[in-house]
Structure 1
Amino acid sequence: MRSFSSLWYWIALAVLWSSVSHWVLGVPFDMINRARRYGEGAAEDLAMLARINARRMLYISRNGGLWLIGIVFFMLTILVLLSVLYQVEFAQAVLCMVAPMVLVGYLTLRLALRVETDAPEGAALVRLLMRHRFVVQLIGMIAIFVTALFGMYHNIT
């Protein structure tokens, strides 16, 4: 259960942030690039897939959102208690992965709501998805940096 000194933990952290930044609102990044480069046909596919995924996420949040929020914050509370009060390294490592993902989930849900209400098309949708991807990558870089600092501190002490 030594997480911060395990190579597998760092590989899992890299894979987590790589896949989160690749799939923007359930749309793969190469599809966004294709819509940006080739225009009309690819942009229609992008808009359709973005609307489908936005509706799917909003359906889940509208029907089970309160339960989902309750479960997520219950689990976060348990992780924080195990991390801070009991100093469980595994809980600290999982918290370093999960806590930023809650923020990313909130931002993705907000993006889905914006896609549903504004119904952007073409370049406006590409710009919106690229901005969201940039913010997710920024959160990921900060999270990896903080996790690396905390992991080094934990391994040194």
Structure 2
Amino acid sequence: MLDWYDTVFELIDMRSFSNLWYWIALAVVWSTSSHFVLGVPWDLVQRARRQGGEAEADLHDMVRVNVNRILYIADQAGLWLIGIVFFTLTSLAIIGFWYGSEFSQAVFLLAAPMSLVLGLGVRCARGIRAADGDGLYGRMHRHRFTTQVIGMLSIFVTAMWGMWQNLSIGAI
């Protein structure tokens, strides 16, 4: 029984930065967040820009629904969500970087930039509602580009920190 237990924990390495699944999850999170702009698939935005007509009407409908949903959540529970997110991020940072928990470091390096993207998404949704659809393509393109830049910086910082951790632990 002990051999099975050891085999499972070798396969599922609890050290996050040396675990292939963490890096796969990091790539999936950032590719998904840059593909869905305010919950709208980017291929729909491109198709609406190229073809117009029904595709453009579908885009406007989907953006309207998602903007209303995002702003409803932000208006109703925004302060509570901000408090919970900051408490969680602060706890992860303290446990991870002060007390040395690699798992907390990994989750923090994934969650902190995503919380920034979510905040920018709320800001973008407010801008789209205020502009009443004018400049929709430009706003969505800027939000996607900003998300991609944050994602690239996040992956770079996470990779550097992960390599540092793996080299430091390997040297012990």
Q: Confirm or deny a common fold (TM above 0.5).
A: yes
Q: In 2, Cα distance between the equivalents of 1:140 and 1:155?
A: 22
User: Is the 1:35–1:126 Cα contact (8 Å) retained in structure 2?
Assistant: no
TM-score w.r.t. length of structure 1 = 0.96
Q: In 1, Cα distance between the equivalents of 2:58 and 2:35?
A: 17
TM-score w.r.t. length of structure 2 = 0.88
Aligned to 1:70: 83
Q: Please give the residue correspondences for 1:4-83 in structure 2 after superposition, counting only pairs within 5 Å.
A: 4-83=17-96
Q: In 1, Cα distance between the equivalents of 2:139 and 2:76?
A: 26
Q: In 2, Cα distance between the equivalents of 1:6 and 1:58?
A: 37
Q: In 2, Cα distance between the equivalents of 1:128 and 1:65?
A: 22
Aligned to 2:9: none
The correspondence for 2:133, drawn from 120, 132, 137, is 120
Structure 1 runs of 4+ aligned residues shifted over 2 Å read none
User: How far does residue 45 in structure 1 lie from its aligned partner after superposition?
Assistant: 1.2
The correspondence for 1:150, drawn from 145, 158, 161, is 161
Which deviates more from structure 2 when the two are superposed, residues 14-23 or residues 33-42? 33-42
Percent identity reads 53
Q: In 1, Cα distance between the equivalents of 2:111 and 2:29?
A: 10
**Residue 120 of structure 1: SS of its match in structure 2?**
coil
User: How far does residue 116 in structure 1 lie from its aligned partner after superposition?
Assistant: 1.1
* Ranges in structure 2 where 5+ consecutive residues have no aligned partner: 1-13
**Structure possessing the higher radius of gyration over alpha carbons:** 2
Q: Which has the higher contact order (CA 8 A, sep 6+)?
A: 1
The correspondence for 1:92, drawn from 99, 102, 105, is 105
User: Is the 1:100–1:139 Cα contact (8 Å) retained in structure 2?
Assistant: yes
Q: State the aligned residue count.
A: 155
**Residue 131 of structure 1: SS of its match in structure 2?**
helix
The one-letter code of the counterpart of 1:143 is S
Q: Map Cα deviations across residues 109-145 of structure 1 (whole Å, 9 max, x no partner).
A: 0011011111125xx2112111110110010000000
Q: Map Cα deviations across residues 35-65 of structure 1 (whole Å, 9 max, x no partner).
A: 1110132112111111110110110111111
* Ranges in structure 1 where 5+ consecutive residues have no aligned partner: none
